[in-house]
């Protein structure tokens, strides 16, 4: 029924049960077929109940409401440019216009996505959380990186190893480390060094 949409006739359906006697081979086939069908039905019912219990333990009803900002999965977006592996997994933030039942929402699409169907299942959505920059646009953040200098001796204790690299020295590869030091006046500078004793705890 699930595959074809109707119940096809099987050989067991052509057996005449109103006869006084049935051929032993036909009767044995009918009994085995009935037993197999009963076993399959019982297994399907048990699996369905087991999956329902597992799903009910972790399932949470979506709590989206009108006006919420969400991110929409781009799984079914076919008009995105660039390699598939480099595309964004989610689009947004988008605003929910209205709810369609419990499992679908209508979002406001814009720009090149304005012609796409705006109804999405809740499984394709996730809440959007504002970043610190969005919450406090007037807050200034110092993004100036520490100055990188060439140092021979450690100007202070090693706070962090940023990265390492190899250079040619006398025809041989020598590894050096870009290290962040804390100076005496409590500022930080970055410098390339060999492997000094202060770095033993970091390597």
The residue among 162 and 118 whose pLDDT is bigger is: 118
Length of the chain: 203
The residue among 140 and 131 whose pLDDT is bigger is: 131
| pLDDT at residue 41, as a whole number | 92
In the numeric block, the tokens 């100036």 are attached to 144
pLDDT at 2 over 50: yes
Q: Which two tokens stand for residue 77?
A: 């977006």
What's the mean pLDDT when you consider all of the chain?
Answer: 75
Per residue in 74-115, pLDDT (tens digit) is 887 877 776 777 778 888 788 899 888 888 889 988 877 888
The residue among 156 and 108 whose pLDDT is bigger is: 108
State the average pLDDT over residues 127-138. 73
| pLDDT at residue 147, as a whole number | 46
pTM for the model: 0.42
pLDDT at 45 over 90: yes
pLDDT at 153 over 60: no
| pLDDT at residue 135, as a whole number | 65
pLDDT at 149 over 50: no
Q: What is the 3-state secondary structure (H, E, C) of the chain?
A: CCCCCCCCCCHHHHCCCCCCCCCHHHHHHHHHHHHHHHHHHHHHHHHHHHHHHHHHHHCCCCCCCCCCEEEEECCCCCCCCCCHHHCCCEEEEEEEEEEECCCEEEECCCHHHCCCCCEEEHHHEEECCCCHHHHCCCCCCCCCCCCEEECCCCCCCEEEEEEEEEEEECCEEEEEEEEEEECCCCCEEEEEECCCHHHCCCC
Domain 69-133 top-level CATH class: mainly beta
Domain boundaries, the chain: 21-53, 69-133, 148-199
């Amino acid at each position: 029924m699930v595959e074809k949409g109707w119940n096809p006739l099987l050989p067991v359906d052509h057996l005449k049960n109103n006869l006084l006697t049935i051929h032993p081979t036909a009767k044995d086939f009918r009994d085995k077929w009935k037993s197999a069908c009963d076993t399959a039905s019982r297994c399907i019912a048990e699996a369905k109940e087991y999956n329902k219990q597992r799903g009910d333990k972790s399932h949470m009803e979506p709590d989206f409401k009108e006006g919420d900002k969400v991110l929409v999965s781009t799984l079914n977006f076919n008009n995105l440019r660039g390699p598939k592996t480099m595309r964004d997994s989610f689009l947004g933030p988008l605003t929910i216009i209205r709810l369609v039942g419990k499992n679908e929402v209508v979002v406001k699409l814009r720009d090149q996505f304005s012609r796409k169907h705006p109804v999405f299942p809740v499984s394709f959505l996730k809440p959007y959380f504002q970043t610190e920059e969005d919450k406090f646009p007037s807050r200034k953040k110092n993004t100036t990186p520490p100055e990188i200098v060439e140092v021979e001796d450690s100007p202070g204790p090693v706070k962090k190893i940023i990265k390492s690299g190899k250079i040619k020295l006398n025809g041989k590869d020598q590894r050096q480390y870009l290290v962040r030091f804390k100076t005496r006046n409590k500022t930080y500078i970055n410098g390339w060094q060999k492997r000094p004793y202060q770095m033993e705890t970091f390597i």
